[in-house]
Structure 1
Amino acid sequence: MRPGAPISAAPTRATSPRMPAKTGETLGRIGSLEVRMARNFKEVRKAQRLRYQVFYEEMSAIADANTLATRRDADPFDAYCDHLLVVDHASMKRNKLGRLKPEIVGTYRILRQEIADQHAGFYTAAEYDIQALIDANPGKRFMELGRSCVLKPYRNKKTVELLWHGIWAYVLRYKIDVMLGCASIEGTDPDALAGQLSFLHHNARAPEKWRVRAVKDRYIEMNRLPSDQVNAKQALRSLPPLVKGYLRLGAFIGDGAVVDPQFGTTDVLIIMPVSELNTRYVNYYGADASRYSS
């Protein structure tokens, strides 16, 4: 569940993070679960530890020395991205001061175009030529989604709906026109993933005006099987829940996959123009993101 692949440079410790306006504001709530933005960098660190637990301990990511030492999945982008959190008020954990704090059980990392332009650009640009799409749409506001992560016991409809409720509220607040980011399929052998990649190519490939190609030296052909040789039901069943969720929302898939050996995954680009989102889901969360507002 990790949209986005690591940049090639070794991660460094993020400092002096820029926190978003209305930091910590509640965006939605279901029972004991609350979705909101991180309140401070201490909470970002907790989100990084959650990411480490899922990506490195549960999945097959390969940690470098710094990641092993800190037991946090961190990179320089964390300092200026916004961090969406799902916290469980029924699961309280003591911090270093002995105070009880609700456990962080889910997170998404968000990077708006104007913030990316002030720093190192979009993280996804290491894998896909997204600048060409941005340049072709000068009047549109882009937003990158990445580092999606949910603690295993919370991987259910309720948590996912809260995450998306928070994202939708964020999209409305900042008048975002296009969401993008990478989604990962476990495994690094494209031939072993031929069914899934070919299914995405034949059924969800972005139309020309939204098409983005993987960077030349990392491009992996997704059209590995003719459409009549793809078992659609099996391919759809094999796709990660996150990818299937994006497809239900109306997402497009970019041109070409990228193998990420560090994380043991094959990445595909997700492109979600807000104007193209499935109206059923927009109506479900509410045109004003009011469904789970507290």
Structure 2
Amino acid sequence: MPNGTTPRFHARFNDTQADIRAAQALRHRCFRGGEGLDADPYDDMCRHMLVEEVSTGKLVACFRLMPFQDGTSIGDSYSAQFYELSALRDYASPMIEMGRFCIDPDAQDGADILRVAWGAMTHYVDQENIGLMFGCSSFQGTDEARYLDTFALLRDRHIAPKRWLPRVKAPKVFRFAQRLRRTPDAKRAMLGLPPLLRTYLMMGGWVSDHAVVDHDLNTLHVFTGVEIASVPPARARLLRAVATPA
């Protein structure tokens, strides 16, 4: 963020259908390439967060949020298309599914954009007393061989607690927790972590023991959860220091 009192970016919730279409257009550029709209029925059930450049109003990042009063209706989530989530039906606190997070690949200052996005998300989580934040964290491409060290690191350090562990549902998955026997190279493992997943893990997040092969979006993804009460205190203080209402 530049010096001075005026931030370069700000976050807000969508006000109009035009806001949603702008988010869908950015998502299409990021996930599918070229012009078009990345749209699905879940868009109508979500609130959409837009991060814009203050001086120009240009959309530089977006994501969508689907709230749940507790785990009883988690089967209605986007993630439930790909993961068997019955273990989370007993989750008793409010939950939020975060999805379709993307940053304009041409945008400058990606770290500042990410910080503003997480600041807005932190404010929302605190305001709504969210207990669990979850979603699908994506790796570019569908070739798991590119990420073997990263998946080995996830296997060793970040698998979900057994009481919440998602089971296999999708027809094509990579069962990295079962199949990998390698010791991860730490440097290669960290280089392979997508930025969003890295942020989740820094907050104490956990992942499924398998990755879903998603040919529609040309990604591999893992179910990811962050229990808010388990976020390390130092990390929580940093997030709340930049938390702003959207």
Contact kept in structure 1, 2:74 and 2:88, CA below 8 Å: no
Equivalent residue of 1:259, what SS?
Answer: strand
Contact kept in structure 2, 1:214 and 1:254, CA below 8 Å: no
Residue-by-residue CA offset, 1:161-218 (whole Å, 9 max, x unaligned): 1111111111112211101100111121223432221211111111212322231633
Equivalent in 227, 230, 237 of residue 273 of structure 1: 227
Q: Which residue does 1:145 correspond to in 2? A: 98
Aligned pairs (5 A) from 1:1-294 = 31-57=7-33, 71-91=36-56, 102-114=57-69, 121-130=76-85, 132-137=86-91, 139-152=92-105, 153-154=107-108, 156-215=110-169, 217-223=171-177, 224-226=179-181, 229-286=183-240, 291-292=243-244
Residue-by-residue CA offset, 1:115-170 (whole Å, 9 max, x unaligned): 9988981000011112x133222x22111010001112245221101111111111
> Closer, same or farther in 2 for the Cα pair 1:195/1:293, shift >3 Å?
same
Contact kept in structure 2, 1:195 and 1:225, CA below 8 Å: no
Q: CA shift at 1:266, angstroms?
A: 0.7
Give the stretch that moved more between structures: 35-44 or 109-118: 109-118
Q: CA shift at 1:40, angstroms?
A: 1.4
Contact kept in structure 2, 1:134 and 1:142, CA below 8 Å: no
Give the stretch that moved more between structures: 116-125 or 209-218: 116-125
Instruction: Number of aligned residue pairs: give it.
Output: 240
Residue-by-residue CA offset, 1:222-276 (whole Å, 9 max, x unaligned): 134325x221221111221121111111110112110011211111111111111
Equivalent residue of 1:217, what SS?
Answer: coil
Q: CA shift at 1:293, angstroms?
A: 6.0
Q: Which runs of 5+ in 1 are unaligned?
A: 1-28, 59-67, 92-101
What TM-score do you get using the length of structure 2 for normalisation?
A: 0.88
For the residues of structure 2 that align with 1:284 and 1:179, how far apart are their CA atoms? Answer: 18
> Closer, same or farther in 2 for the Cα pair 1:179/1:291, shift >3 Å?
closer
For the residues of structure 2 that align with 1:220 and 1:291, how far apart are their CA atoms? Answer: 36
Residue-by-residue CA offset, 1:26-83 (whole Å, 9 max, x unaligned): xxx961311111111111111111111111227xxxxxxxxx7xx1111111112000
Equivalent residue of 1:191, what SS?
Answer: helix
Give the stretch that moved more between structures: 38-47 or 218-227: 218-227
Contact kept in structure 2, 1:116 and 1:122, CA below 8 Å: no
Contact kept in structure 2, 1:185 and 1:265, CA below 8 Å: yes
Contact kept in structure 2, 1:86 and 1:104, CA below 8 Å: yes
For the residues of structure 2 that align with 1:48 and 1:173, how far apart are their CA atoms? Answer: 26
For the residues of structure 2 that align with 1:260 and 1:142, how far apart are their CA atoms? Answer: 24
* Sequence identity percentage: 25
Equivalent residue of 1:107, what SS?
Answer: strand
Contact kept in structure 2, 1:44 and 1:83, CA below 8 Å: yes
Equivalent residue of 2:144, what SS?
Answer: coil
Equivalent residue of 2:83, what SS?
Answer: coil
Give the stretch that moved more between structures: 177-186 or 199-208: 199-208
For the residues of structure 2 that align with 1:85 and 1:293, how far apart are their CA atoms? Answer: 12
What TM-score do you get using the length of structure 1 for normalisation?
A: 0.74
Q: Which residue does 1:99 correspond to in 2? A: none
- CA root-mean-square deviation: 2.5
